[in-house]
Structure 1
Amino acid sequence: MTTVSRTFDVRVPPQVVVPYLADFSHAEEWDPGTVSCVREGSGPVAVGASWHNTSKIAGISTELTYTLEELGDERIVLVGRNDTATSTETIEVTPAPDGSTVTYTNELEFKGAARIAAPLGKVVFEKLGNDTEKQLTETLNALTG
Protein backbone atom coordinates (compact mmCIF):
# COMPACT_ATOMS: atom_id res chain seq x y z
CA MET A 1 0.00 0.00 0.00
CA THR A 2 1.21 3.50 -0.83
CA THR A 3 0.31 6.21 1.68
CA VAL A 4 0.84 9.95 1.29
CA SER A 5 -0.24 12.45 3.93
CA ARG A 6 0.03 16.22 4.27
CA THR A 7 -1.07 18.61 7.03
CA PHE A 8 -1.47 22.32 6.35
CA ASP A 9 -3.40 25.40 7.47
CA VAL A 10 -5.94 27.40 5.47
CA ARG A 11 -7.77 30.67 6.19
CA VAL A 12 -11.24 29.11 5.91
CA PRO A 13 -13.28 27.69 8.83
CA PRO A 14 -14.17 23.97 8.97
CA GLN A 15 -17.87 24.69 8.34
CA VAL A 16 -16.86 25.91 4.84
CA VAL A 17 -14.05 23.42 4.17
CA VAL A 18 -15.91 20.21 5.03
CA PRO A 19 -18.98 20.65 2.76
CA TYR A 20 -16.76 21.87 -0.07
CA LEU A 21 -14.45 18.84 0.09
CA ALA A 22 -17.29 16.38 0.73
CA ASP A 23 -18.65 17.28 -2.73
CA PHE A 24 -15.97 15.37 -4.62
CA SER A 25 -16.91 17.01 -7.92
CA HIS A 26 -14.75 19.88 -6.64
CA ALA A 27 -11.69 17.61 -7.03
CA GLU A 28 -11.36 19.05 -10.54
CA GLU A 29 -10.42 22.35 -8.87
CA TRP A 30 -7.99 21.13 -6.20
CA ASP A 31 -6.57 17.76 -7.29
CA PRO A 32 -3.85 18.17 -9.94
CA GLY A 33 -4.36 14.57 -11.11
CA THR A 34 -8.12 14.85 -11.67
CA VAL A 35 -9.22 15.44 -15.26
CA SER A 36 -12.95 15.14 -14.51
CA CYS A 37 -15.13 14.19 -11.58
CA VAL A 38 -18.87 13.85 -12.20
CA ARG A 39 -21.52 13.12 -9.58
CA GLU A 40 -23.56 9.99 -10.15
CA GLY A 41 -27.14 10.52 -9.10
CA SER A 42 -28.56 13.57 -7.38
CA GLY A 43 -29.76 14.81 -4.05
CA PRO A 44 -27.78 16.04 -1.08
CA VAL A 45 -24.12 15.15 -0.67
CA ALA A 46 -24.32 12.47 2.01
CA VAL A 47 -22.81 9.10 2.86
CA GLY A 48 -23.40 6.84 -0.13
CA ALA A 49 -23.07 9.59 -2.77
CA SER A 50 -20.75 8.64 -5.62
CA TRP A 51 -18.68 10.24 -8.40
CA HIS A 52 -17.04 8.99 -11.59
CA ASN A 53 -13.45 10.26 -11.47
CA THR A 54 -11.00 10.31 -14.36
CA SER A 55 -7.40 11.02 -13.42
CA LYS A 56 -4.15 11.26 -15.30
CA ILE A 57 -1.01 10.71 -13.24
CA ALA A 58 2.48 10.38 -14.72
CA GLY A 59 0.90 10.09 -18.17
CA ILE A 60 -1.38 7.20 -17.18
CA SER A 61 -5.15 7.67 -17.24
CA THR A 62 -7.41 5.80 -14.87
CA GLU A 63 -11.07 5.86 -13.91
CA LEU A 64 -12.43 5.15 -10.46
CA THR A 65 -15.84 5.33 -8.87
CA TYR A 66 -15.57 7.21 -5.57
CA THR A 67 -18.10 6.78 -2.79
CA LEU A 68 -18.50 9.06 0.22
CA GLU A 69 -18.15 6.54 3.03
CA GLU A 70 -17.89 8.86 6.03
CA LEU A 71 -18.96 12.46 6.60
CA GLY A 72 -18.74 14.23 9.94
CA ASP A 73 -18.08 17.75 11.20
CA GLU A 74 -14.30 17.17 11.04
CA ARG A 75 -13.77 14.07 8.88
CA ILE A 76 -14.47 12.98 5.31
CA VAL A 77 -13.63 9.56 3.87
CA LEU A 78 -13.96 8.94 0.14
CA VAL A 79 -13.06 5.58 -1.40
CA GLY A 80 -12.38 5.14 -5.11
CA ARG A 81 -12.41 1.71 -6.67
CA ASN A 82 -11.72 0.04 -9.98
CA ASP A 83 -10.37 -3.38 -11.03
CA THR A 84 -6.73 -2.48 -10.39
CA ALA A 85 -6.74 -0.18 -7.35
CA THR A 86 -8.52 1.16 -4.30
CA SER A 87 -7.84 4.76 -3.30
CA THR A 88 -8.94 5.87 0.17
CA GLU A 89 -8.87 9.62 0.73
CA THR A 90 -9.29 10.69 4.35
CA ILE A 91 -9.58 14.40 5.07
CA GLU A 92 -9.57 15.66 8.64
CA VAL A 93 -10.42 19.31 9.28
CA THR A 94 -9.97 20.91 12.69
CA PRO A 95 -10.44 24.50 13.81
CA ALA A 96 -7.30 26.66 13.86
CA PRO A 97 -6.86 30.23 15.13
CA ASP A 98 -7.08 31.71 11.62
CA GLY A 99 -9.23 29.07 9.89
CA SER A 100 -8.62 25.32 9.70
CA THR A 101 -5.90 22.73 9.88
CA VAL A 102 -6.39 20.15 7.14
CA THR A 103 -4.82 16.69 7.13
CA TYR A 104 -5.19 14.99 3.75
CA THR A 105 -4.21 11.32 3.53
CA ASN A 106 -4.39 9.16 0.42
CA GLU A 107 -3.90 5.40 0.74
CA LEU A 108 -3.53 3.62 -2.56
CA GLU A 109 -3.73 -0.15 -2.74
CA PHE A 110 -2.91 -1.81 -6.04
CA LYS A 111 -4.62 -5.09 -6.94
CA GLY A 112 -3.44 -8.07 -8.98
CA ALA A 113 -0.71 -7.45 -11.55
CA ALA A 114 -0.80 -3.71 -10.82
CA ARG A 115 0.95 -4.45 -7.48
CA ILE A 116 4.30 -4.43 -9.26
CA ALA A 117 3.82 -0.66 -9.74
CA ALA A 118 3.62 0.00 -5.99
CA PRO A 119 7.32 0.92 -5.42
CA LEU A 120 7.31 3.35 -8.35
CA GLY A 121 3.92 4.64 -7.25
CA LYS A 122 5.36 5.86 -3.94
CA VAL A 123 7.78 8.24 -5.71
CA VAL A 124 5.10 9.54 -8.07
CA PHE A 125 2.52 9.93 -5.29
CA GLU A 126 4.92 11.82 -2.99
CA LYS A 127 5.33 14.44 -5.72
CA LEU A 128 1.58 14.43 -6.34
CA GLY A 129 1.07 14.89 -2.58
CA ASN A 130 3.19 18.05 -2.69
CA ASP A 131 1.29 19.35 -5.72
CA THR A 132 -2.07 18.51 -4.12
CA GLU A 133 -1.16 20.31 -0.89
CA LYS A 134 -0.22 23.45 -2.83
CA GLN A 135 -3.30 23.43 -5.09
CA LEU A 136 -5.71 22.48 -2.30
CA THR A 137 -4.37 25.26 -0.04
CA GLU A 138 -4.77 27.84 -2.82
CA THR A 139 -8.25 26.62 -3.73
CA LEU A 140 -9.54 26.58 -0.14
CA ASN A 141 -8.04 29.99 0.65
CA ALA A 142 -9.79 31.40 -2.43
CA LEU A 143 -13.14 30.41 -0.87
CA THR A 144 -12.74 33.27 1.59
CA GLY A 145 -13.63 35.67 -1.22
Structure 2
Amino acid sequence: MSHLLVRTVTTRWDAASVFDYLLDFEHAEEWDSGTVRCERRAGDGGVGTRYLNVSKFLGRETSLDYEVEKLVPGRQFVITGGNKTVVSTDTVTVTTTASGGASVEYRAEMTFKGIASVVSPLLTPFLNKLADDTETQLRDTLEARADR
Protein backbone atom coordinates (compact mmCIF):
# COMPACT_ATOMS: atom_id res chain seq x y z
CA MET A 1 0.00 0.00 0.00
CA SER A 2 1.20 3.51 -0.84
CA HIS A 3 0.71 6.65 1.17
CA LEU A 4 0.80 9.98 -0.65
CA LEU A 5 1.54 13.02 1.50
CA VAL A 6 1.37 16.45 -0.11
CA ARG A 7 2.07 19.75 1.60
CA THR A 8 2.61 23.26 0.19
CA VAL A 9 4.34 26.15 1.93
CA THR A 10 5.04 29.69 0.84
CA THR A 11 7.92 31.88 1.89
CA ARG A 12 9.29 35.35 1.28
CA TRP A 13 12.64 33.79 0.29
CA ASP A 14 13.21 33.85 -3.49
CA ALA A 15 12.52 30.69 -5.49
CA ALA A 16 16.06 30.23 -6.86
CA SER A 17 17.58 30.29 -3.36
CA VAL A 18 14.86 28.01 -1.97
CA PHE A 19 15.41 25.50 -4.77
CA ASP A 20 19.19 25.40 -4.29
CA TYR A 21 18.78 25.03 -0.54
CA LEU A 22 16.31 22.13 -0.78
CA LEU A 23 18.20 20.36 -3.57
CA ASP A 24 21.15 20.05 -1.19
CA PHE A 25 19.40 17.28 0.73
CA GLU A 26 21.90 17.52 3.60
CA HIS A 27 19.79 20.49 4.71
CA ALA A 28 16.93 18.08 5.47
CA GLU A 29 18.28 18.01 9.03
CA GLU A 30 17.10 21.61 9.36
CA TRP A 31 13.67 21.47 7.70
CA ASP A 32 12.42 17.87 7.89
CA SER A 33 10.96 17.11 11.31
CA GLY A 34 11.77 13.39 10.96
CA THR A 35 15.40 13.72 9.85
CA VAL A 36 18.04 13.19 12.51
CA ARG A 37 21.06 13.22 10.18
CA CYS A 38 21.62 13.43 6.43
CA GLU A 39 24.94 13.24 4.64
CA ARG A 40 25.97 13.23 1.00
CA ARG A 41 27.65 9.99 0.01
CA ALA A 42 28.41 10.67 -3.66
CA GLY A 43 27.75 13.15 -6.44
CA ASP A 44 27.72 16.88 -7.05
CA GLY A 45 24.11 17.58 -6.09
CA GLY A 46 22.64 16.70 -9.49
CA VAL A 47 21.09 13.52 -10.85
CA GLY A 48 22.78 10.48 -9.32
CA THR A 49 23.79 12.24 -6.10
CA ARG A 50 23.35 9.87 -3.18
CA TYR A 51 22.59 10.64 0.46
CA LEU A 52 22.30 8.63 3.65
CA ASN A 53 19.32 9.90 5.64
CA VAL A 54 18.72 8.80 9.22
CA SER A 55 15.16 9.50 10.33
CA LYS A 56 13.19 8.97 13.49
CA PHE A 57 9.64 7.63 13.21
CA LEU A 58 7.51 6.26 16.03
CA GLY A 59 10.47 6.44 18.39
CA ARG A 60 12.83 4.39 16.21
CA GLU A 61 15.68 5.48 14.00
CA THR A 62 15.87 4.14 10.47
CA SER A 63 18.30 4.74 7.61
CA LEU A 64 17.29 5.34 4.02
CA ASP A 65 19.61 5.55 1.03
CA TYR A 66 18.42 8.39 -1.23
CA GLU A 67 19.35 9.24 -4.81
CA VAL A 68 18.42 12.25 -6.94
CA GLU A 69 16.48 10.68 -9.83
CA LYS A 70 15.31 13.70 -11.81
CA LEU A 71 16.24 17.36 -11.91
CA VAL A 72 14.61 20.29 -13.67
CA PRO A 73 17.03 23.08 -12.66
CA GLY A 74 15.42 25.79 -10.59
CA ARG A 75 12.01 24.13 -10.74
CA GLN A 76 11.75 20.51 -9.58
CA PHE A 77 13.65 17.49 -8.38
CA VAL A 78 12.74 13.92 -7.53
CA ILE A 79 14.69 12.03 -4.90
CA THR A 80 14.00 8.40 -4.05
CA GLY A 81 15.04 6.70 -0.85
CA GLY A 82 14.58 3.28 0.56
CA ASN A 83 15.55 0.41 2.76
CA LYS A 84 14.22 -3.12 3.29
CA THR A 85 10.81 -1.92 4.54
CA VAL A 86 9.96 1.27 2.62
CA VAL A 87 10.54 3.20 -0.59
CA SER A 88 9.88 6.95 -0.51
CA THR A 89 9.72 8.98 -3.70
CA ASP A 90 9.83 12.68 -2.90
CA THR A 91 9.02 15.32 -5.51
CA VAL A 92 9.86 18.93 -4.66
CA THR A 93 8.47 21.66 -6.94
CA VAL A 94 9.40 25.31 -6.41
CA THR A 95 7.62 28.19 -8.14
CA THR A 96 7.88 31.96 -7.84
CA THR A 97 4.97 33.70 -6.15
CA ALA A 98 3.45 36.99 -7.33
CA SER A 99 5.19 38.77 -4.45
CA GLY A 100 8.62 37.44 -5.50
CA GLY A 101 8.85 34.74 -2.87
CA ALA A 102 8.50 31.01 -3.40
CA SER A 103 5.87 28.32 -3.19
CA VAL A 104 7.13 24.82 -2.40
CA GLU A 105 5.06 21.72 -3.05
CA TYR A 106 6.49 18.66 -1.31
CA ARG A 107 5.05 15.29 -2.33
CA ALA A 108 6.18 12.13 -0.58
CA GLU A 109 4.88 8.80 -1.81
CA MET A 110 5.75 6.04 0.60
CA THR A 111 5.37 2.38 -0.33
CA PHE A 112 5.88 -0.17 2.41
CA LYS A 113 7.30 -3.62 1.71
CA GLY A 114 7.09 -7.00 3.40
CA ILE A 115 5.43 -7.18 6.79
CA ALA A 116 5.41 -3.37 6.94
CA SER A 117 2.93 -3.36 4.05
CA VAL A 118 0.46 -5.30 6.18
CA VAL A 119 0.48 -2.73 9.00
CA SER A 120 0.88 0.33 6.78
CA PRO A 121 -2.84 1.32 6.93
CA LEU A 122 -2.38 1.77 10.69
CA LEU A 123 0.46 4.22 10.05
CA THR A 124 -1.70 6.78 8.21
CA PRO A 125 -2.36 9.08 11.20
CA PHE A 126 1.32 9.03 12.21
CA LEU A 127 2.46 9.78 8.66
CA ASN A 128 -0.01 12.67 8.43
CA LYS A 129 1.32 14.08 11.72
CA LEU A 130 4.88 13.77 10.43
CA ALA A 131 3.88 15.61 7.23
CA ASP A 132 2.13 18.35 9.22
CA ASP A 133 5.15 18.79 11.50
CA THR A 134 7.47 18.91 8.50
CA GLU A 135 5.25 21.49 6.80
CA THR A 136 5.53 23.76 9.83
CA GLN A 137 9.27 23.21 10.23
CA LEU A 138 9.90 23.77 6.51
CA ARG A 139 7.95 27.04 6.53
CA ASP A 140 9.71 28.27 9.68
CA THR A 141 13.15 27.33 8.33
CA LEU A 142 12.61 29.02 4.96
CA GLU A 143 11.26 32.17 6.60
CA ALA A 144 14.25 32.32 8.96
CA ARG A 145 16.57 32.02 5.95
CA ALA A 146 14.65 34.79 4.16
CA ASP A 147 15.54 37.07 7.09
CA ARG A 148 19.29 36.49 6.68
Which TM class, normalised by the smaller chain length? over 0.9
RMSD: 1.1
Please say which of residues 78-87 and 115-124 is displaced more in the overlay: 115-124
Rounded Cα–Cα distance in structure 2 between residues aligned with 1:90 and 1:121: 21
Rounded Cα–Cα distance in structure 2 between residues aligned with 1:46 and 1:118: 32
**1:101 CA displacement:** 1.0
Any unmatched runs of 5+ in structure 2? none
Q: Give the 4+ runs in structure 1 shifted more than 3 A.
A: none
Letter in 1 for 2:135: E
How much identity, in percent, do the aligned residues show? 41
Any unmatched runs of 5+ in structure 1? none
Give aligned pairs, total: 144
Letter in 2 for 1:54: V
**1:28 CA displacement:** 0.3
Rounded Cα–Cα distance in structure 1 between residues aligned with 2:95 and 2:42: 30
Letter in 2 for 1:108: M
Contact residue 25 and residue 51 of structure 1 kept, 8 A: yes
Contact residue 52 and residue 66 of structure 1 kept, 8 A: yes
Show the counterpart of 1:118: 120
Report the 3-state secondary structure (helix = DSSP H, G, I; strand = E; otherwise coil) of the residue aligned with 1:116: helix
Report the 3-state secondary structure (helix = DSSP H, G, I; strand = E; otherwise coil) of the residue aligned with 1:143: helix
> 1:12-91 counterparts in 2 under 5 A?
12-41=13-42, 44-72=44-72, 73-91=74-92
Rounded Cα–Cα distance in structure 1 between residues aligned with 2:119 and 2:39: 27
Letter in 2 for 1:65: D
Show the counterpart of 1:9: 10
1:105 paired residue among 104, 107, 116: 107
TM-score (norm 2): 0.93
Contact residue 9 and residue 138 of structure 2 kept, 8 A: no
Rounded Cα–Cα distance in structure 2 between residues aligned with 1:53 and 1:24: 9
Contact residue 13 and residue 142 of structure 2 kept, 8 A: yes
